[in-house]
Amino acid sequence: MELLPEMALAYADAVGMPWRRVRVAPPGSDTDAPDVARARAGDEAGFEALVRRHEREVYCLAHRMLHDREEALEAAQDTFLRVFRALPTFRGEASFRTWLFGIALNVCRNRLARGLKRERVTTVPLAQEDQISGEVVALPLADSALDPEAAAGRSELRRAIAAALQRISPEHREIILLREVRGLDYDALAAALGCPAGTVKSRLARARAALRVTLEGVWP
Amino acid sequence: MTCEEFLRRLDQGDPMVEGDAAAHAAACPACDRALARSRAVANELSAMADEPAPPFLHARIMAHVRAGRRARAVRWRYAFAAAATVVLAVGTYVLLRPGPVLAPTQLAERLTNAPGHETAQNPTDTRERQAMAVGGVRAPAPVAKGRADKAASAQAARHTQPGVNTVAHAPAAGSPPPGETGAEHEAAERKAEAADEERSAGAALATQSVAPLVPDESKRTTAAEHAGANELPVVPANALGRAATASDSRQLPQPAQAAQSRAQSELAAPDTTVCAIRTTAGQVVAHLGLPTALAPPVDGVWTLVVARDGALAVHDARDRAVALDGTRLAAALGPVRLPPGRYTLLIER
C-alpha cells in the first residue's frame, strides 16, 4: 500500500511504530516522468516543475550535509544546473528523485572536498541609520524561519542530532540522511550512492552505530 | 541475547518489538534506554524532512540555471566562431597554397568555356579574363595583386608567341586584334614583353620587401621563370610569400620540407572539397566528352575527383563514377596539375 508522507507519518504515530518503517511513496515518483520528458525535450516549464517539486528536499539534504546555509543554497543551485545539463543522458534506470539525490550528494562531496572550512569573509551590518529620523536602529537578526532548528522550535534532541550529524563522517551522514530523513529504500540508496545493496546495509548499520555513539556525547 | 547483539540488531534497523529482543530490553535497563533513544532519534530524523527552505530558493535556482544555460549558449557560439575561423583559414590556405597549380577560377573558366571559343575571341578579352581568374584567387594583398597582374600579363604575352601556347583556350597564335596591322601588333607585343620583364623584376623586389624571411623564394618564383616551364603561369610563389615550387621545396631544410609535404598531403586529401564550379550541362558534356544521354541534370551536383596520383574522375550526384573520355578531359584541363581533391560542379541552366 502506497501512502502519502503525511498519512504515513500519522499512521506511524497512531500505531506507535518505533522506526516508522512505513513504506512511503517518494514525493513525485508518479508525477516526475511527464515533466522529465518535457524537460528533456527542452521545455523549461517541465524542468521548472521538477525544480519546484524537489528543491526543498535537495536544499535540506545539502544543508544537513554541509551545515552551512549559503553553501547549501549554492549546492542546490549547482545540483539543478547539473541536472539540467545531464537530463539528456538520464536513462531512467532509477527514479528521477534517486538520480537527483545522487547528483546532489556528488555536489556536496565536491564542496566538502574543496574545503568547506575556507573562511567566508562577509560583512553583516547590525545597525543602520534611519533615513527619516536619522537615528541608528538595530537591524533584525537573521530570519529565524531559515534556521531549521529555530523555525521548528525543536527540542534539544534535534539540536543534538544536528550536532551529531556534523561529527560523523560525510559517508555516514549522507546515508543516514537519505534513509532516515528522505526515506529511500535500499535499492534507491544503492543507486544514489553508487554501491551494491549489501554495502548499503552494512554501511547503514555502521552509520547508525556512529550516530548513536556520537549522540551519547552530546545528548546524555 | 547479549547487550552487544541487541545493539547490533538495533543498528541494523530491527524494531525490537517482539521476541527475545523485547525480552532483553525488558530485562536490561541500559538496552531499554538505548532502544528508547533510538526511537526518539528516528522520529526526530523523520521530522527533519519537513524542514523549511528559503522562500527565494526557487527563484535563485531558476536564475542560476538560466544563467548557466545562457553561458553555455555563449560558449557554443564562441566555439562555433572559432571552428568557422579555422575552417576559413584552412580553406584559404588550400586555395592559396604554393605550387604551380590551377587556380579554381581558372578551372571554372576551363569548364565553362566551350572548346574553340577562344580562337574567335579577342586576345585582349582573354588577357583580362586570365588576369581576373588569377587575381581572384591570388590577390589577398596589394602586392600579391600586382604580382598577379604581372603574371597574367606575362601569360597573355606568351599566348601571343607561336609554339609556346599551352592553354586550350588561348587565342590563335600571333593573331592581331581587329584594327591593327601585323607589324603594329608585333611591335606592341615586343613592347609588352619588355614591360612585363620590368614589372617582373619590380614584383620580385616588392615580394622581398613583404616577405623578408624568404627572399630567395620570391626571387625564384617569378612569372618569367614560369613562362619557360611550359606550365600555366599562376601567380609566382604564393601571395603569402612561402615556398612555391618543387625546386623551392628541395632547397628548404629537411624538417621544413617534411612539414610542408605533410601539410600538403593532409590538406589536399582526396576527400577535401577544393572549390565549387558553376557550369552548365552542355559545357560539361562538351568538355568531358560525354554522350548527350549522360548529360548531368540541371541543378544537379557532380564532382570532379583528382586523385593523389593525378588521375581524374567525374562522379555524379550519387557519387557514381561517370564513364568519360579521359583523353578529352585531360586535353580540356591542359598540361596543368590540379591539386588532389574534390571539385564540386554545380550544374546550372
Q: Tell me if A18 is assigned to some domain.
A: yes
Q: pLDDT band at residue A59, thresholds of 50, 70 and 90?
A: very high
Q: Tell me if A186 is assigned to some domain.
A: yes
* Interchain pair A73, B38: CB under 8 A: no
* Interchain pair B41, A211: CB under 8 A: yes
3-state secondary structure of B129: helix
Write down the pLDDT at residue B74. 76
Q: How far is it, in rounded angstroms, from Cα B232 to Cα B152?
A: 10
Strands B273-280 and B301-306: unpaired
Write down the pLDDT at residue B270. 58
Residues of B in contact with A73 (CB under 8 A): 54, 57, 60
Q: Nearest-CA distance from B33 to chain A in Å? A: 11
Question: Secondary structure of B311-336 in the HEC alphabet?
Answer: CEEEECCCCCECCCCHHHHHHHHCCC
Write down the pLDDT at residue A133. 58
| One-letter identity of residue B210 | V
Find where cell 609588352 sits: B192
Write down the pLDDT at residue B218. 39
Question: Digits of tens for pLDDT over chain B (349 positions)?
Answer: 788 888 888 888 776 666 788 888 888 898 888 888 888 888 888 888 878 888 888 888 888 888 887 777 777 778 888 888 888 888 888 777 665 555 666 666 666 664 544 433 444 444 444 444 443 333 333 444 444 444 444 444 444 444 333 333 334 444 444 545 555 666 666 666 656 555 554 444 333 333 333 334 333 433 334 333 333 333 233 322 332 333 333 344 455 555 555 555 444 445 656 666 777 777 777 777 677 777 788 777 788 777 777 777 778 877 777 766 666 666 666 666 677 777 777 777 6
Q: How far is it, in rounded angstroms, from Cα A209 to Cα A196?
A: 20
Q: Where are the alpha helices (DSSP H) in chain A?
A: 5-15, 32-40, 44-66, 69-86, 96-115, 148-152, 156-167, 170-176, 186-193, 197-218
Total number of domains in chain A: 1
3-state secondary structure of B346: strand
* Cβ neighbours for B229, distance < 8 A, ≥ 6 positions apart: B100
* Interchain pair A84, B64: CB under 8 A: no
Contact indicator for B9, B21 with CB cutoff of 8 Å: yes
* Interchain pair A77, B60: CB under 8 A: yes
Is the pLDDT reported for residue A172 higher than 90? yes
Q: Tell me if A170 is assigned to some domain.
A: yes
A50: CATH? 1.10.1740.10
Any idea which of A167-171, A195-199, B168-172, B332-336 has the lowest mean pLDDT? B168-172
Q: How far is CA A48 from CA A32, A42, B71, B286, in A?
A: 11, 11, 19, 64
Is the pLDDT reported for residue A136 higher than 70? no
Write down the pLDDT at residue B251. 43
Partner residue opposite B58 with nearest CB, options A55, A145, A212: A55
Q: Tell me if A133 is assigned to some domain.
A: yes
* Interchain pair B60, A161: CB under 8 A: no
3-state secondary structure of A74: helix
Query: Within 10 A of B309 (CB to CB), how many other CB atoms are there?
Result: 6
> What value of ipTM does the predicted structure carry?
0.71
- Domain span at A62: 6-216
Is the pLDDT reported for residue A217 higher than 60? yes
Q: Tell me if A1 is assigned to some domain.
A: no
Residue of A nearest to B9 (CA): A205
Q: Tell me if A197 is assigned to some domain.
A: yes
Contact indicator for B287, B332 with CB cutoff of 8 Å: yes
* Cβ neighbours for A155, distance < 8 A, ≥ 6 positions apart: B44
Q: How far is it, in rounded angstroms, from Cα B30 to Cα B38?
A: 12
For the packed helices A186-193 and A197-218, what is the interaxial angle rounded to 10 degrees?
90
Question: Secondary structure of B256-317 in the HEC alphabet?
Answer: HHHHHHHHHHHHCCCCCEEEEEEEEHHHHHHHHCCCHHHCCCCCCEEEEEECCCCCEEEECC
Chain B, residues 64-103, CB within 8 A of chain A, namely: 64-65, 68-69, 72
Strands laid side by side in the B301-306 sheet? B273-280, B341-348, B301-306, B312-315
Q: pLDDT band at residue A83, thresholds of 50, 70 and 90?
A: very high
Q: Tell me if A114 is assigned to some domain.
A: yes
Length of chain A: 220
Q: Nearest-CA distance from A215 to chain B in Å? A: 9
Nearest in space to A84 (alpha carbons), one of B230, B209, B71, B2: B71
Nearest in space to A70 (alpha carbons), one of B71, B57, B45: B57
Find where cell 562577509 sits: A122
Partner residue opposite A76 with nearest CB, options B35, B61, B69: B61
Write down the pLDDT at residue A82. 92
Q: Nearest-CA distance from A104 to chain B in Å? A: 13
Is the pLDDT reported for residue A80 higher than 90? yes
Contact indicator for B8, A202 with CB cutoff of 8 Å: no
Is the pLDDT reported for residue A105 higher than 90? yes
Is the pLDDT reported for residue A142 higher than 50? no
Q: How far is it, in rounded angstroms, from Cα A215 to Cα A164?
A: 6
Residues of A in contact with B44 (CB under 8 A): 154-155, 157-158, 161
* Cβ neighbours for B45, distance < 8 A, ≥ 6 positions apart: A161, A176, A180, A181
Share the mean pLDDT of chain A. Answer: 76
Residues of A in contact with B8 (CB under 8 A): 205
Residues of A in contact with B68 (CB under 8 A): 81, 84-85
Compute the half-sphere exposure of residue B181: CA atoms within 13 Å on the CB side of its CA.
Answer: 3
Residues of A in contact with B30 (CB under 8 A): none
Q: Tell me if A40 is assigned to some domain.
A: yes
Compute the half-sphere exposure of residue A40: CA atoms within 13 Å on the CB side of its CA.
Answer: 14
The helix (H) or strand (E) run that includes residue A129 is strand A127-129
* Interchain pair B65, A215: CB under 8 A: no
φ and ψ at residue B278, rounded to 5 degrees: -90, 130
* Phi and psi based region of residue A92 (left: phi greater than 0; alpha: psi -120 to 50; beta: remaining): left
- Which cell is A64 given? 544537513
Write down the pLDDT at residue B162. 42
Identify the bridge partners of residue B337 per DSSP, sorted by sequence position. B101
Q: How far is it, in rounded angstroms, from Cα B198 to Cα B156?
A: 16
* Interchain pair A206, B42: CB under 8 A: no
Contact indicator for B111, B105 with CB cutoff of 8 Å: no
Residues of B in contact with A9 (CB under 8 A): 46
* Interchain pair A85, B68: CB under 8 A: yes
Write down the pLDDT at residue B7. 87
Write down the pLDDT at residue B143. 41
φ and ψ at residue B324, rounded to 5 degrees: -145, 165
Contact indicator for B133, B125 with CB cutoff of 8 Å: no
Per-residue pLDDT reduced to its tens digit, A22-49: 344 454 455 788 888 888 888 888 899 9
